[in-house]
A and B are shown apart, each in its own frame.
Chain A
Amino acid sequence: KQEVTQIPAALSVPEGENLVLNCSFTDSAIYNLQWFRQDPGKGLTSLLLIQSSQREQTSGRLNASLDKSSGRSTLYIAASQPGDSATYLCAVQHPDNYGQNFVFGPGTRLSVLP
């Protein structure tokens, strides 16, 4: 069974710092990996999607990498801002999961202090 973990569970940094969030998964046979952002009281917003054949994706100050063989992904946030404060979840789409649905990690709660 595919399992997804995220470290750390919570992170607090001063504004302007570069930071890395980590995601690990147990089965490398994935279709893709997505990073989501969740604001308090809100649903999930997709940030980046990395296909299984890709190594990384970039969007603005965000860069996500994927190492399928080691079962790891990182989300790099450059020059963090207070508006980046949210919970970040990673999810993998696995062929053996129900309806090829996503398996989600528990999330990393990020606080960027002004």
Chain B
Amino acid sequence: NAGVTQTPKFQVLKTGQSMTLQCAQDMNHEYMSWYRQDPGMGLRLIHYSVGAGITDQGEVPNGYNVSRSTTEDFPLRLLSAAPSQTSVYFCASSYGQGGNQPQHFGDGTRLSIL
């Protein structure tokens, strides 16, 4: 059981480039989310999805797009990379939202924007 798989693990981009961070889960979880983690700060929610075809914005959505065409996959797209988007990105999934549903996290993608 792979859990939550994120690719790539590391990436260096130049300002203005675009890229997609991949996230896949094999637990048939309905709820998926993307966070960024910056030094000295907690994880901040970028976007989330409560099921296939449904996405919504989190706390820091600007500069990012998401889509959820299948239950398994939830890619995060950087439209035009900026140095402020240098961060570690985590994808998480859970069976549902609210209540007692533990979140399962991937190992993260470390992204540097030059």
Interface positions of A (Cβ within 8 A of B)? 4, 9, 31-32, 34, 41-46, 49, 51, 89, 91, 93, 97-107
Nearest chain-A residue to B57 (Cβ)?
Answer: A98
Which of B12-20, B36-44, B74-82 contacts its partner?
Answer: B36-44
Tell me the minimal C-beta distance from B23 to chain A in angstroms: 11
Do A98 and B48 have beta carbons less than 8 Å apart? yes
Within 8 Å of chain A (Cβ to Cβ): is B84?
no
Question: Count the B residues whose beta carbon is within 8 Å of the partner chain — how many?
Answer: 27
Q: Given A43, A51, A104, which contacts B100 in the complex, CB threshold below 8 Å? A: A51
B1-17 CB contacts (< 8 Å) to partner A: 4
In the bound complex, residues from chain A placing their C-beta under 8 Å from that of B108 are: 41-43
- How distant is the Cα of A81 from the Cα of B8 in the complex, in angstroms? 33
- How distant is the Cα of A41 from the Cα of B95 in the complex, in angstroms? 25
Among B4, B56, B103, B106, the most chain A Cβ lie within 10 Å of the Cβ of B103
Interface positions of B (Cβ within 8 A of A)? 4, 33, 35, 40-45, 48, 50, 56-59, 90, 92, 97-100, 102-103, 105-108
Do B103 and A46 have beta carbons less than 8 Å apart? yes
Do A104 and B4 have beta carbons less than 8 Å apart? no
Do B48 and A102 have beta carbons less than 8 Å apart? no
Do A105 and B102 have beta carbons less than 8 Å apart? no
A-B CB contact pairs (8 Å), 18 listed: A31-B99, A32-B99, A34-B102, A41-B107, A41-B108, A43-B90, A46-B103, A49-B100, A89-B42, A91-B42, A98-B56, A99-B48, A99-B58, A100-B97, A101-B45, A101-B48, A104-B35, A106-B41
Do B98 and A43 have beta carbons less than 8 Å apart? no
Nearest chain-A residue to B40 (Cβ)?
Answer: A106
In the bound complex, residues from chain B placing their C-beta under 8 Å from that of A107 are: 42
In the bound complex, residues from chain A placing their C-beta under 8 Å from that of B41 are: 106
- How distant is the Cα of A45 from the Cα of B104 in the complex, in angstroms? 7
